Amino acid sequence: MTHLGYTVEYKIETMARAYGKELQIPWKKSVELARAIRGKTVEQAREYLENVAALKQPVPMRRYKRWIAHKSGVGPARYPVKAAKAFLRILESAVANAEFTGKDDPDQMRVAVINAHKGSIQKAYRPRAHGRSGPWNQDTVNLEIVLEAMEGS
């Protein structure tokens, strides 16, 4: 069993965080989506994720790009809608945590840390012909988001 938790030391005065456990989204697409929104403000990240979910803006695939079609002006890219919706839900949870802990303007906070780690595999079996069965496994993702207050605000 792996150790679940945050990968950064938490400072309650300047940070807010949220953690999504065992999300049923593709791990490779989650890594690419996390890379795309890392370092952005909450407003920018929210707008980006909403555009991805609405199929308006593709997510560039930098590492896991084999056999992926190119999008105009981006290169190899995809629209991971299910992952974008899950990311948006965890981001909103981090913003709510920031408001609860008394941060002034959570929308101006920066996404300091966002990591998608492999979660556990939910194992199942699919019935096949002639009384046999085959594996039907579901990969999961553990997503951590840490927001940090900007220096100027």
Q: What is the pLDDT of residues 89-104, one digit of tens each?
A: 999 999 999 999 999 9
Q: What is the mean pLDDT of residues 10-36?
A: 96
How confident is residue 151, by pLDDT bands cut at 50, 70 and 90? confident
pLDDT of the residue at 6: 87
For residue 2, CA distances in Å to 7, 25, 90, 118, 144 come to 13, 19, 21, 10, 15
> Is pLDDT of 1 > 70?
no
* pLDDT band for position 143 (cuts 50, 70, 90): very high
Tokens at residue 59, please?
A: 């997510």
For residue 2, name the pLDDT band (cuts at 50, 70, 90): low
pLDDT of residue 5: 83
Which domains, ranges and CATH numbers included, belong to the chain?
A: 15-148 (3.90.470.10)
Share of the chain above pLDDT 90, in %: 92
Q: Which residues contact residue 69 at a Cβ distance below 8 angstroms, ignoring those fewer than 6 apart? A: 76
Residue 115 scores a pLDDT above 60: yes
* Each residue's pLDDT tens digit, 48-58: 999 999 999 99
Q: What is the pTM of this model?
A: 0.92
Q: How many Cα atoms occupy the beta-carbon half-sphere of 108 within 13 Å?
A: 9
Q: In the predicted model, what is the mean pLDDT of residues 121-141? A: 96
Over residues 13-20, mean pLDDT = 96
